[in-house]
Structure 1
């Protein structure tokens, strides 16, 4: 019997992959990697290279070095307003929409009545594209036929919510936050459902209030969710394009870096090299925000 058991144990050793298994693994891993290289990293590296050239997409490519960046920073009026607006998007979604989504998740996690209905209603805007949200914003904030002016009874002296450059950026941010809040709410609600109830019970036994329990016990356990939400917030803010383009093509107070990239690459000028330089700036800003945030969160996680 010991000899038989030894033979069985030997047979149960690590299974060797057959050539067929290796082929299947190679296909399942190789196709996504190739698609990622072709659709993501290929265009990214091409944009970086083209940003140092002058090319209209048809003729010869001429190397100009950093001239595109010099022009961009010193002699391209829409650039700095677009940078400020993108930073404002990050700040507004991060400091207003994200905390509000967390608040809604905490309230729904308490098991209020009709919580399923509230979840569905608040999440509904997430399934809409930002272009559709832009059209909805026009229906609400339009100067002559908008619902907001009708509610405020401003027919005689209507407020131009989307035409006034001092107001339209805030109206658009409210519309974008309406969509972003539902997304954040669902993520945090899933995180709250995974929190061990015994942690809350132990905090209550120690005399901690509900607020203290949340900030000192619950919120630290949501660190993985915080990382995901932070990255998504930055990406959503910096890649914003559809909503402003649907309203006024990203002009008159709604300039964004993504719109400037589109205007230069596929616009009448077809300045692909210059548009690529703007895209590289947007990529650098995005990576700067995301890498800094991830490093801080991961350091905090190790210390905890």
Structure 2
């Protein structure tokens, strides 16, 4: 009697319905990629990674390293330790005014422009008449670069031919909106806030559209008015949008450069840290190590605000 051939262990296990191991399934899926597929995947993943390293992380790490040196871009790189930071804090007059101006910039965008953008988003979420027109009108300034906003500031707030003095009837005794250090920063902040409001409005409007209407109906059934419904039900669901808005606000406030540079090269009351970085690295002084130290200080300030807020957000989520 001829013995019945037995199936190999793998085939027998497969016939019995035993699933393959995860490692074996991964090897089989990887084995299906052709060399061309692997090359395409490597190109699509590797090229953005190289660009990220070359354009973002590379210069950032180089700036941190150069901040501890003295270098003019041509001669020998000489280590100086913390001397650049000490000189910036104690012997560089424009530094502290620039820090104060950046903090004012951040406070204005965060406490004035951002809440106003949220307010406009709440109004537009009610589907009033001409909603599309209002959305376009409020968002239109966002497509303008800050350099263009700087030129608009000159047209509006110029002492001799500005629109502001003409509207106020101050042509005989004009106000120097951009030349007076006591008011020129606030004049610029009005236009910067005008641009920032549209961006914040669009982000919050997208978040409000994603809120489940059932939550609002349940709050109304429980007797909550519109204000209570918004602050206790709707606004907590906008936490992811709040994180995005915070990051954008901090970045917009601390990277501001174009608008003040287009007005008066960031001088006479419009000093900003980004302008000081440019003046030291690209200017006639060519103090690359000194400018890199200012850039590192700017990086620490920006990441500090964002890190503190994110820690608070994650802590609240863990407690909940």
TM (normalized to structure 2)? Answer: 0.90
Q: Does 1:104 align with 2:117?
A: no
The structural deviation recorded for 1:19 is 4.5
For 1:73, which of 86, 89, 92 is the aligned residue? 89
What's the counterpart of residue 62 of structure 1? 78
Q: Deviations over 1:231-254 (max 9, x none)?
A: 110011000000000011000000
- Residue 200 to residue 55, structure 1, CA distance change in 2 (3 Å): same
Match of 2:281 in 1: 265
The Cα shift of 1:24 comes to: 2.5
Q: Structure 1 residues 5, 210: CA separation in 2 closer, same or farther (over 3 Å shift)? A: farther
Q: Structure 1 residue aligned with 2:307, among 291, 294, 301?
A: 291
| RMSD over equivalenced CA pairs, Å | 1.9
Alignment pair present for 1:16 and 2:29: yes
Q: CA deviation at 1:28?
A: 1.3
The question of whether the paired residues in 2 share the 8 Å contact of 1:223 and 1:301 is answered with: no
Kept in 2: contact 1:97–1:177 (CA 8 A): yes
Give the CA deviation at 1:137: 1.0
- Equivalence for 1:187: 203
Deviation at 1:64, TM superposition (A): 0.9
Contact kept in structure 2, 1:126 and 1:179, CA below 8 Å: yes
Aligned length: 302
In structure 2, C-alpha distance between the alignment counterparts of 1:42 and 1:81, rounded to whole Å: 30
- Output the CA distance in 1 between the equivalents of 2:39 and 2:185: 53
1:160: which partner in 2?
176
Tell me the equivalent position of 1:130.
146
- Structure 1 stretches of 4+ moved >6 Å: 3-7
Counterpart position of 2:3: none
The partner residue of 1:116 within 132, 149, 172 is 132
Q: Which runs of 5+ in 1 are unaligned?
A: none
Give the C-alpha shift of residue 293 in structure 1.
1.3
